[in-house]
Amino acid sequence: MAVLEQAPPTAPAGPRPRAMSAREKWSRRLPLLPALLYTIIVTQVPFLVMIWYSFQSYYWNEPGGSWFNGVSNYAHVFTDPDFLNAIVRTVTMTVIAVLLTVIIGTALAVLLDRKFPGRGVVRTLIITPFLVMPAAAALIWQGPMLDPNFGLLNYLLAPFGVNHEAWLSNHAYGTVIVVMVWQWMPFMMLIVLAGLQSQPGDVLEAAKVDGASAWSTFRELTVPHLRPYLELGILLGTIYLVTTFDQIRLMTQGGPGTQTTTLPYYLYEKVNYAFDIGGSAAAGVVTVVLTIIVASFALRMFARVFQFEEAR
């Protein structure tokens, strides 16, 4: 190393990359510009407006318009137990739902990876919940499925002693999670199935010849192979599930009480029921900051997952 450091700093010999002219630079930048401008107008401008509002006292249902009230909106956000509870509830619901989608999705993917008559039909049927739009799914669950008096679920469970159970009133938290899992499990299953089908067949045959049982093969070879797929599934599933809004708005309205009030629904309520523009803007800013922190970790993991893929 010492020898290298003593070497005089000389310009590298040989051909150098040709410098790009300004015209060339713009010819590459220009096609991206409309998309960039559009993104700035629809996301960054509203964000700046939101920051401005977060320092204002502004109630839609009170006369007098808005006036500057410093950081008192923020002070209120950090002391509001509803806001903190909404964060905790969002995190626990997302974690439980994602874990369940991973476990059920993997189990179904393993079953679907086998050849059996009618596999195509079964696969399509399992994917179907993913294709139903969340609002429509929520309405179907809330009415025909879960209605205390006429619901299909109570009808099916009647032989087991279930009688006019009001699922969305008495078990709101669990029921919302079930609907979230129902909607997103197919997505997880598809990702895991893609992973299973990318596993080379001769490796599995080698394991058979090496005397491994089906369970050992799964634990020793398939799970490590699936790791990047599971990571990707967990990451995307978390992004989707953490923003769940439709089901909560249409099935429970965040209730009973605040039992199912997640962060997106909390913000919605603050604007649309409390008309508290300043307070909801402050809560929104805090949410964005928290999201950026979590997302930058997630994106780093994303990058790692894809690097791992390339290195294989």
Q: Which is nearer to another protein, 228 or 284 (CB)?
A: 228
User: Would the CA dihedral through 298, 299, 302, 304 be positive or negative?
Assistant: negative
Q: Which is nearer to another protein, 170 or 216 (CB)?
A: 216
Of 191, 196, 186, 190, nearest to 113 by C-alpha is 196
200 touches another protein (CB under 8 A): yes
Q: Are residues 82 and 265 in contact, defined by beta-carbon separation less than 8 angstroms?
A: no
114 touches another protein (CB under 8 A): no
Any idea which residue has 């997505």 for tokens? 187
Q: How far is the CB of 211 from another protein (least distance, A)?
A: 4
Binding region for another protein (CB under 8 A) out of 7-15, 41-49, 201-209, 272-280: 201-209
Of 245, 271, 295, nearest to 54 by C-alpha is 271
> How many residues lie near another protein (CB under 8 A)?
19
216 touches another protein (CB under 8 A): yes
Q: Which is nearer to another protein, 25 or 304 (CB)?
A: 304
Q: Which is nearer to another protein, 206 or 289 (CB)?
A: 206
207 touches another protein (CB under 8 A): yes
DSSP 54-119: HTEE-BTTSTT--EE-TTHHHHHHHH-HHHHHHHHHHHHHHHHHHHHHHHHHHHHHHHHTS--TTH
Among positions 123, 171, 225, 249, the unique one binding another protein when judged by CB under 8 A = 225
121 touches another protein (CB under 8 A): no
Among positions 3, 202, 257, 310, the unique one binding another protein when judged by CB under 8 A = 202
The region that residue 64 occupies, defined by phi over 0 for left and psi between -120 and 50 for alpha, beta otherwise, is left
Among positions 208, 219, 300, 304, the unique one binding another protein when judged by CB under 8 A = 208
Residues 6+ apart with CB under 8 A from 146: 153, 154, 167, 168, 175, 251
Q: How far is the CB of 228 from another protein (least distance, A)?
A: 11
205 touches another protein (CB under 8 A): yes
- Contacts with another protein by CB under 8 A lie at 200, 202-203, 205-213, 216, 220-221, 224-225, 311-312
